[in-house]
Structure 1
């Protein structure tokens, strides 16, 4: 999986203003996987317990790739202040201390979600349910973050702009449609809403400051589209796996 680049814009075209550029970045939400047929069906209560378990198990691979991706970005960051701010993302997922309570981290919270839908911890962590398409998409994202200039890797994180709504949708619909899932298992979705908002503030600030020509701004849009395609491809693979079992 690679970035599909748009044709280079006319070099005589002026850069978009910060407001115009941000609006175009946010418009990319039309391609967010909140609109994927599998996600729509899942939030409408149309998934079986086995399908939910398939999704949770495969999405877990993405969760454990996130801190690896963030560590790769930090490795390419020469600025100490930026590294100090970005490292919070790793701890958000890997957690603190003994992984108990509110600071257990996103990976631990997702493990509780797995248990709530009926996947034993050891089985989830074994990754035996992860299908090749999900591995490929996630590994492509980590590889991009390790090789790209850090500002481009930061830009790819801006799918977080669209994440709060997908979490809110799950919190609003799952208790009704899937009452067999322990409500405590949904804590990941609750905790990510404020963290995503914080992360967007930083990532958007970096992106608006760095991509300042029309060509660079188009590059940023292509990068964001790449990340959106990673997430969409993951659900394509999960949907196919569900149909095969």
Structure 2
């Protein structure tokens, strides 16, 4: 039987997954950050990514229902509030809809998911079902892509402001909120995984879960790379989105 990694070594192994497989290295994402996406392509990314965003609190509610302590449930609950919002603070899902509006996508077309392509829906549903069917700590491990998000989000704000000025600036509020939410969430998730995964087998399962989540994010961009230029342009033409 393999000896368990120390917490420091385990954390390094988790970070290696992001260094190798996080979706910031996907060709479509690289093109986005180089300012090379056409308006129809960026709108397709926004509209399809919304299906992922709206399912994050669903995933978090599943994890919340499995957490064994009230202390951890209290902390995890904030994730759901951040996305679903509450009175006086509409939350991240509403902020993403407003990003779509700022990019020229009608609210109705965001909310009714008319622009979501089937392969994106399949990938996101697979992630939610993974979290539903796995032990809670493995589901938490899959969420640790948050470890790699803050730098990316900070870069994305600058990229959108400079290279896609046709997106109204108020649409970037979602990303600004994630600058402080993602590090907080990542710290709590990492604490749980480091605390609970004490055997080498558990640690390897956590790494596999994080790899799976990276695959989900990569698959979304793969789907858009193949389908978005044609399909988004066709759907936008049908719907009158310029």
Assess same fold via TM > 0.5: yes
* Distance in 2, Cα, partners of 1:216 & 1:152: 8
Instruction: Note if contact 2:143-2:189 (Cα within 8 Å) is conserved in structure 1.
Output: yes
* Distance in 2, Cα, partners of 1:218 & 1:76: 21
| Alignment partner of 1:115 is 2:104 | no
Q: Which residue of 2 aligns with 1:15?
A: 4
| Alignment partner of 1:38 is 2:24 | no
**Paired positions, count:** 230
* Distance in 2, Cα, partners of 1:125 & 1:243: 21
Q: Which residue of 1 aligns with 2:219?
A: 233
* Distance in 2, Cα, partners of 1:218 & 1:45: 37
Q: Which residue of 1 aligns with 2:48?
A: 58
Shift of 1:243: 3.3
> Alignment partner for residue 38 of structure 2, among 45, 48, 56?
48
Shift of 1:49: 0.7
Using the TM superposition, name which of 229-238 and 166-175 deviates more. 166-175
Using the TM superposition, name which of 77-86 and 58-67 deviates more. 77-86
> Alignment partner for residue 117 of structure 2, among 131, 136, 153?
131
- Aligned residue for 1:212, secondary structure, equals coil
The TM-score, its normalising length taken from structure 2, stands at 0.92
| Alignment partner of 1:201 is 2:187 | yes
Instruction: Note if contact 2:40-2:229 (Cα within 8 Å) is conserved in structure 1.
Output: no
Q: How does 1:35-184 map to 2 (within 5 A)?
A: 35-98=25-88, 103-184=89-170
User: Can you give the 5+ residue segments of structure 1 that lack an aligned partner in the other structure?
Assistant: 1-10
* Distance in 2, Cα, partners of 1:147 & 1:215: 18
* Distance in 1, Cα, partners of 2:71 & 2:134: 19
Instruction: Note if contact 1:76-1:146 (Cα within 8 Å) is conserved in structure 2.
Output: no
* Distance in 1, Cα, partners of 2:227 & 2:179: 29
Shift of 1:192: 0.3
